[in-house]
């Protein structure tokens, strides 16, 4: 029995801030970040948006594409490192808004930037095990970097939602695999407003080791080589890391550029590789192989080998595409407005 994605959707806020605007305030060299990290701008959530609101919007698109009713959803999993509440699940609000309550299993996941693929991993596994008919998995974040920190250039907002099922499968999951160690490259302690990171330590021993490890092993498990894939998408904390890891593994620009959103979106953390996958599904043909590899600090990577079916062509025009949300109707703001929107100005 084929199990896989039966519906998907994304949400990107309309506000954007350019790298130049942030660099100007902190006396940094914008060209350096644009060239070095391949970042031009990032999305900014409006003051009335958070992980819950973006998750609802992304999930509604997924339901519309799948053509099922919210009440049919058996589980709701939301992966994020910026859940609005410290105590109280995001998933209850989202499930209620979708009409999935009360007969639904729900949990919020956390694992830095890979919480979204973690939700996908569990949702897929539940459908495969026959525990639920449909599982909803969401990756969403409105992450923040400390003012003046390099992270401020990339920490962005967005959400991707995936519905898993065994009927009407648009994208089959051929293999799922997880690669994880304890690696303290990035963290945030309780009551701290901004995360801290290990600077260059976030590269080789963290991102590259885990993304590479997950990719190589899942290729081995499925007996595939890079050239067998039409598309590949990696976690994208900036525009540079995913390109570096893809090319090291032998993938080409044609394979990774469709899912590479970071240069104009920024890093949407738990939403990052799932949103890249959505951009791929908006374009893919029938029978295309896709490799997806996430990364979450802490650290680990989830990998999926996916294959599109004819059903994808029937569902994808039922909701707004990811690139359309990214490239149209943007509203550019200055740093002062950004600081107000993101609560970086203390009023009392």
Contact indicator for 156, 301 with CB cutoff of 8 Å: no
Q: What is the x/- site pattern for other proteins, positions 23-62, by CB under 8 A? A: -----------------------xxxxx-xx--xx--x--
Residue that is written with structure tokens 């550019």 in the block: 332
**Closest CB to other proteins among 14 and 240?**
14
Total number of residues that touch other proteins (CB under 8 A): 24
Minimum Å gap between C-beta 112 and other proteins is 23
Query: Could you say which of 331, 332, 334, 336 contacts other proteins (CB under 8 A)?
Result: 331
CA–CA distance, 198 with 186 (Å, rounded to integer): 6
Which two three-digit tokens encode residue 16?
Answer: 């954007």
Residues assigned a catalytic role:
81, 113, 235
Please, what is the angle between helix 51-66 and helix 90-98, to 10°?
40
Minimum Å gap between C-beta 308 and other proteins is 22
Query: Could you say which of 85, 187, 201, 332 contacts other proteins (CB under 8 A)?
Result: 85
**Closest CB to other proteins among 200 and 328?**
328
Minimum Å gap between C-beta 238 and other proteins is 26
**Closest CB to other proteins among 125 and 337?**
337
Task: Please give the residues from 306 up to 325 whose contact with other proteins meets the rule CB under 8 A.
Answer: 319-320
**Closest CB to other proteins among 52 and 169?**
52
Query: Could you say which of 31, 36, 67, 84 contacts other proteins (CB under 8 A)?
Result: 84
Contact indicator for 321, 261 with CB cutoff of 8 Å: no
**Closest CB to other proteins among 84 and 130?**
84
Task: Please give the residues from 89 up to 118 whose contact with other proteins meets the rule CB under 8 A.
Answer: 93, 96-97, 99
Indicate whether 14 belongs to the interface with other proteins (CB under 8 A). Answer: yes
Minimum Å gap between C-beta 88 and other proteins is 8
**Closest CB to other proteins among 105 and 320?**
320
Applying CB under 8 A, which residues contact other proteins?
A: 14-15, 46-50, 52-53, 56-57, 60, 84-85, 93, 96-97, 99, 319-320, 328-329, 331, 340
């Amino acid at each position: 029995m084929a199990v896989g994605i039966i519906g998907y959707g994304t949400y990107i806020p309309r506000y954007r801030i350019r790298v130049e605007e942030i660099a100007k305030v902190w006396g940094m060299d914008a060209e350096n970040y644009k060239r070095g990290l391949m970042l031009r701008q990032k999305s900014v959530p409006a003051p009335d948006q958070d992980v819950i609101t973006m998750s609802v919007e992304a999930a509604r698109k997924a339901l519309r594409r799948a053509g099922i009713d919210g009440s049919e959803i058996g589980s709701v999993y939301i992966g994020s490192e910026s859940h609005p509440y410290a105590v109280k699940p995001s998933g209850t609000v989202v499930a209620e808004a979708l009409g999935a309550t009360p007969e639904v299993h729900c949990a919020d996941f956390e694992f830095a930037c890979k919480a979204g693929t973690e939700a996908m991993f569990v949702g897929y596994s539940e459908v495969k095990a026959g525990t639920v008919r449909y599982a909803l998995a969401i990756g969403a974040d409105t992450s923040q970097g400390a003012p003046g920190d390099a992270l401020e250039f990339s920490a962005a907002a967005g959400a991707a939602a995936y519905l898993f099922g065994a009927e009407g499968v648009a994208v089959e999951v051929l293999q799922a695999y997880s690669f994880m160690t304890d690696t303290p490259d990035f963290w945030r302690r309780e009551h701290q407003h901004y995360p801290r990171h290990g600077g260059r330590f976030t590269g080789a021993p963290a991102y590259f080791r885990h993304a590479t490890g997950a990719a190589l092993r899942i290729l081995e498990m499925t007996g595939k080589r890079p050239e067998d894939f039409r598309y590949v998408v990696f976690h994208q904390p900036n525009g540079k890391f995913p390109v570096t890891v893809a090319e090291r593994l032998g993938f080409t620009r044609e394979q990774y550029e469709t899912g590479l959103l970071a240069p104009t979106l920024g890093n949407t953390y738990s939403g990052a590789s799932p949103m890249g996958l959505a951009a791929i599904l908006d374009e893919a043909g029938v029978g295309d192989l896709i490799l997806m590899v996430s990364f979450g600090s802490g650290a680990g990577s989830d990998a999926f080998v996916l294959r599109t079916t004819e059903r994808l062509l029937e569902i994808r025009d039922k909701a707004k595409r990811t690139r359309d949300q990214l490239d149209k109707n943007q509203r550019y703001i200055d740093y002062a407005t950004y600081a107000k929107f993101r609560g970086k100005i203390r009023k009392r």
